Amino acid sequence: MTKDLLPNKRRYFGTDGIRGHVGTWPINAEFILKLGWAVGRVLARQGGGKVLIGKDTRISGYMFESVLEAGLSAAGVDIHLLGPMPTPAIAYLTRTLRAQAGIVISASHNPYVDNGIKFFSSLGTKLPDEIELAIEEQLEQTMTTVDSAELGKAVRVADAPGRYIEFCKSTVSSDVNLNGLKIVVDCANGAAYHIAPNVFRELGADVIEVASEPNGLNINLNCGAAHPKILQHYVLQEKADLGVALDGDGDRVIMVDHTGQILDGDELLYIIAKHRQEIGMLKGGVVGTVMSNMGLEHTLATLNIPFTRVPVGDRHIMLELKKLNWFMGGEPSGHIICHDAITTGDGIITALQVLSAQRYYGCSLSKLKSGLKKYPQVILNIAVNHSSDVIGKPNIQALVQQVEKELGKNGRVLLRHSGTEPLIRVMVEGIDANRVTEFANKLVDAVKAEII
């Protein structure tokens, strides 16, 4: 795979909404105020209705919640404020509370100095492209305010956490319980801090909480799915059966077995798919991305489970799931969609699906993942401060082709721009770990030379 997946060419919206450094355009109060207004104007033309706003725990969420509320109100739209809630919870509540849209204030796994805005439709799915484009067009217009009698009103939804806890528990069979399991739950000091531990506790587990005391500045700080070392440490120290690490907005998960070994999204997908196939609940196959390990594809093939790849991003995964009428897809990062349960990636629900498999087979996570033989894979990131097409330069493409030729049919190369951070990602995969590392470093050096 040599084709570069270039960044979205729209002015504001990226792979997952609008994201950036707080205080730097467009992630500043002035722009987000107008964004709220633009969203409200576009939704009003489609018939109107209430909009939900939820957020993670980063300190800038207070500011952006207020200005979004003001912008929507100025456009004549009513607002229901959810407070700190996981991204998938907002998707779920948007659908069940019959809202016209849901807005999430979060930068997911990024540090607190970043923030972002992403949206859900009334169906709990990402906004269609035409709606995002309509919002961008509206942003170019002069902001106005409706007549005072038509201003939107705002209310707080006090029972949102309880609603979502009950929903999460409902996604596993009523005969599944976690009695006797000691689980370490790392909440990344993020949006799931008051939800995830309670879900596992109410299902019977002995829960040890980690990173569940957010202060606005410590979200994702050396914790959570992007930094699993703290989870590994506590699983071993507490002699726990397993660990669960969410990211700041709760839409992705990484797990750790009792030996301290990490299970990434590929391994979690494998466990869930195998279990569902065995109990007759796997519909179709599995959707992965260009980052999914070749070992997952090959192992699923031995189980006669179809597998297909799409570009990185849950939007692409969802589109493919709908197209094929399948239920399961995800990324190595731990962003996994169980489409028969929820319309977006959900770290808590993914963990529950894995635990359901663990209880079914009656063995450790270490044993469960052992059937998946992953290929050595190296992913390196290169910081960039511009969007020029370095990847497309002839000498870079020539080097990619040379490396792919040397790797042969059991290896591959991918160079792509991140859709959420100013990075170029270099991925090399193959049979020989040493050669994979050597090739990855060679490609990184070549790209860096072009950037300079």
- For residue 432, the enclosing domain spans 377-451
Q: Quick check: is 180 in a domain?
A: yes
Phi, psi angles (nearest 5°) of residue 36 = -60, -45
Nearest to 310 by CA among 19, 13, 18, 5: 5
- Domain co-membership, 154 together with 182: no
Report the chain (452 residues): mean pLDDT per 10 consecutive residues.
43 83 97 98 91 98 98 98 98 97 96 97 90 95 97 97 98 95 98 98 98 98 97 98 98 98 98 97 96 96 97 90 96 95 95 98 96 95 80 93 93 88 91 96 94 76
- Give the pLDDT score at 48: 81
Quote the pLDDT of residue 12. Answer: 86
Annotation marks residue 108 as catalytic: yes
Q: Are residues 281 and 303 in the same domain?
A: yes
Residues 381 and 362 in one domain: no
- Read off the CATH number of the domain in which 321 is found: 3.40.120.10
Q: Tokens standing for 34?
A: 């107008």
Task: Lay out the sheet containing 101-105: strands in order across.
Answer: 18-21, 114-121, 101-105, 51-55, 79-84, 154-156
Residue entry with tokens 């990344």 = 188
Classify 130 in phi/psi space as left (phi over 0), alpha (psi -120 to 50) or beta.
Answer: alpha
Number of domains in the chain: 3
In sequence order, the β-bridge partners of residue 14 are: 17
Judge if 168 and 289 occupy the same domain: yes
In whole angstroms, what is the distance from residue 200 CA to residue 183 CA? 8
pLDDT score recorded for residue 386:
67
SS3 328: strand
Same domain for 383 and 285: no
Task: Give me 230's structure tokens.
Answer: 């703290």
352 and 265 both lie in a single domain: yes
pLDDT of residue 321: 96
- What's the confidence (pLDDT) of residue 2? 36
Q: In terms of C-beta density within 10 A (0-12 exposed, 13-18 middle, 19 or more buried), how is residue 224 classed?
A: buried
Q: How far apart are CA 12 and CA 124, in angstroms?
A: 21
Does one domain contain both 330 and 413? Answer: no
pLDDT for position 429:
96
In terms of domains, do 227 and 129 share one? no
Which of 158, 177, 208 lies at the terminal end of a domain, its last residue? 158
Which residues, in sequence order, are CB contacts of 229 under 8 Å at separation 6+? 222
Prediction pTM value:
0.91
Shared domain check, 146 and 47 = yes
Question: What pLDDT score was predicted for residue 387?
Answer: 61
Indicate whether 214 and 274 sit together in one domain: yes
Residue of 73, 108, 212, 333 marked catalytic = 108
